[in-house]
Structure 1
């Protein structure tokens, strides 16, 4: 593929998924390079901070998932309409990233007893608390149906949907849990019914 963007990430959704979603929402071609363990050992010394994801734009490399997401969101008009909106979108995305971090600890926990204990705590304490904060934020700053800030789809909305969907895919909670809250319920309809590129991508991902 001849593309100006190359995304390096492991063969997983996790922290690479938001970046993929931004590309798909924008209808922008990119090379999605899946990095496997043997390949990673060779690539690691040349990568900024020796971590993934990494986005290559020509000769330049960008590291850290949220920094990459913000960069692309600004290019593709998914960052907010003005400086204040951009700051609000960033703050929502950071809260959602905290939730993703909590979920990924469970998803990648190998010890069954620790995984079961962490899942129970996540469902009883962590997830309700962060969903409550997210709903408060949405009710204050979301001006359009299914949007976290203002009247447009932003990368924070994509981060939210990706995080909710990964939590459900990992069988931590079912989608019905999120549908009790206005924001994720509206967001799901917005993504699956109003964003053809994204709905097609999720049908493929979840098939």
Structure 2
């Protein structure tokens, strides 16, 4: 009998969106539990660290920490490469994704206008160009379609989630894609994958 999966997180996309996208990309059913206010207060004491996301498997096994959940899903559904080297390449890209996400959060949540402008400038002139150049190189070396191997993987989903968070948002410079046409093409191709598109078409809006 297939396992049952429940992902618990807040209303926004945040750190759980990559996990939702992994389930979507794998074509696997997921109970997407969104907690707010009182429901989160009641649930919080049940979590190992008092934080989410949290994945419950078959109503008993609980996995916390975003990276651990992402790797579990990737292994579970064949999205982690075909050998140890490909899995390690997925890990490199996932850890890079985490580094960029940390910088992105600074821009979204900084209330001081001067600091916000400083973080935004760093993101657009240092962080994203460096990250994009690395991803563009990997795409070119791997044929342009996938970052690792020949099919959708954790690496692709992680990069797509980052692009999805910044594309069209106020934190991304309007000309950032002009030097990275292959990155924009990658984003659009993943966006069109039937399983991913089906999820994106019906998900609720969120700023991050």
Q: What TM-score range do you get, normalising by the shorter chain? A: 0.7 to 0.9
Equivalent runs, 1:114-133 vs 2, <5 Å: 114-133=115-134
Aligned-pair CA distance for 1:112:
3.1
Q: 1:188 to 1:130 in 2, by over 3 A?
A: closer
Q: Is the 8 A contact 1:8 1:52 kept in 2?
A: yes
Equivalent runs, 1:88-99 vs 2, <5 Å: 88-99=89-100
| Aligned counterparts of 2:204 and 2:7: Cα–Cα separation in 1 | 21
TM-score (ref. length: structure 1): 0.87
Question: Structure 2: which 5+ residue stretches go unaligned?
Answer: none
Does 169-178 or 157-166 show the bigger shift? 169-178
| Deviations 1:133-167, CA, capped at 9 Å, x for gaps | 33334444x2x432111111101111111111111
Q: Is the 8 A contact 1:161 1:184 kept in 2?
A: no
Secondary structure of the 1:6 match is strand
Equivalent runs, 1:181-192 vs 2, <5 Å: 181-192=180-191
TM-score (ref. length: structure 2): 0.87
Does 80-89 or 117-126 show the bigger shift? 117-126
Identify the structure with the greater helix proportion: 1
- Aligned-residue Cα RMSD (Å) equals 2.1
Q: Is the 8 A contact 2:7 2:56 kept in 1?
A: yes
Match of 1:159 in 2: 158
| Aligned counterparts of 2:27 and 2:174: Cα–Cα separation in 1 | 27
The count of corresponding residues between Structure 1 and Structure 2 is 202
Question: Structure 1: which 5+ residue stretches go unaligned?
Answer: none
Q: Which runs of 4+ in 1 moved over 4 A?
A: none
